[in-house]
Amino acid sequence: MGVSGCGKTLIGKKLAKEFRCQFIEGDDYHSAENKEKMERGMGLDDKDRQGWLIALRDCLSESSGLAVLSCSALKRSYRNILSKNPNQTVFIHLVLDQKKLEQRLKSRRGHFFNPSLLQDQLNTLEGLDSTEIGFTVNSDQNTEKIIADILSKLNDKKYEFQYA
């Protein structure tokens, strides 16, 4: 989870490869209307995100085993929707400072997210709280270090799932 540009897709794909499991790209489940809205620089509200979050939750529910989902999951209420599936959901919040996020977004090509929306996402973002299952990882490191940090934290927490 995290704002646009923090590395969700890159790290998610690498984690799925490490776990030998399904990777679900959350952006693929946005409606055409939501993608168009974001491309025009208009932020999404809770109503816009509702159907998207339900589709992602259903995708997690249908997963037979471990899956890695890349999704902003900016608010606790969004994470509550995603967690309502039969599998344990662990949130990994990738964090990066705003200047680096802006640099990444400016250099990104072929994505519908308008970089002007970053501040809206940062304003909307609610970090994980102590009642949520998950942890935070600094994504301002090389990918191997990020993956190692995630695996270490997963092992430290002794989550109920098994992975390769």
The pLDDT score that the predictor gives to residue 143 is 96
**How confident is the model over 130-164, as pLDDT tens digits?**
999 999 999 999 999 999 999 999 988 766 655 54
Mind listing the domains of the chain with CATH numbers?
Answer: 8-157 (3.40.50.300)
Entry field: residues in the chain: 164
Q: What share of the chain is helix, strand, coil (3-state, %, to 5)?
A: 50, 10, 40
Are 120 and 43 a contacting pair, CB within 8 Å?
yes
The pLDDT score that the predictor gives to residue 154 is 92
**Among 128, 138, 129, 134, which residue's Cα sits nearest to residue 97?**
138
**How confident is the model over 52-106, as pLDDT tens digits?**
999 999 999 998 889 999 999 999 999 999 999 988 899 999 999 989 988 887 8
What is the sign, positive or negative, of the torsion defined by CA atoms of 106, 136, 153, 25?
negative
**How confident is the model over 34-55, as pLDDT tens digits?**
989 988 888 889 999 999 999 9
DSSP state letters, 111-145: -S--GGGHHHHHHH-----TTSSEEEEE-SS-HHH
